[in-house]
Amino acid sequence: MKARYRIWSRILSALVPLEVLETVVRRSSDRMFQRTSAKFEYWGGNGSRISYPWNALVGCGSIRIGQRVHINKGLFLGAYGPADRRGQIVIGDDVVINYDCQVTACNSVTIGKGVLMGSRVLVTDHGHGDVSPEALALPPMERELVSKGPVVIGDHCWIGSGVAILPGVTLGESSVVGANAVVTRSFPPRSVIGGNPARLIRSV
């Protein structure tokens, strides 16, 4: 097992950004890559798992993942900004995130305990620039990231597939978001919401 671990460590050091590998080593000495059903998955010493391959892990020093978190392949996690004020991403315990999800922050994104997230979900606290003439004269990728406020997803929320949760939104605990909803404003606990833009369907 140790020999196999050393071999995969060498391969991964050539394929995975150094920032990611340093974070893996720093957080736990007993983490390893394990072959399961012809897929390689990352298992954390705290019972968390990020399935490989992921699309990107940016700003790992500003990302906190709780215990017993299961994240399927295709993940994009990005914490952006200068080192002294980089965005923060916090994922609570017992969270399940399905395939091809994207969570990005230049301010703050917090996902509470026990959240279930479907596939292809976007959670972001920012956009590419404002609508000033100066900003619009630039390509979107060259505009400064602008946040309209942090995003908070309360404990035990259920987020359907294809949902977009946009800047400044707070979802109260135990809320349910229907598939393909675009959430542009906050909702209280135990809300069932859906649509584009999302609206309250009922409270439970």
46-55 own/partner pairs: CB under 8 Å, 24+ apart: 50/75, 51/75, 55/100, 55/102
| CB-CB contact of 126 with 107 (8 Å) | yes
CA-CA distances (angstroms) from residue 203 to 73, 92, 160, 177?
33, 24, 17, 12
How far is Cα 118 from Cα 82, in angstroms, rounded to an integer? 31
Catalytic annotation present for 128: yes
How far is Cα 95 from Cα 36, in angstroms, rounded to an integer? 21
> Which one of 70, 126, 128, 156 is the catalytic residue?
128
Amino acid letter, residue 146: V
Point out the residues that are catalytic. Answer: 128
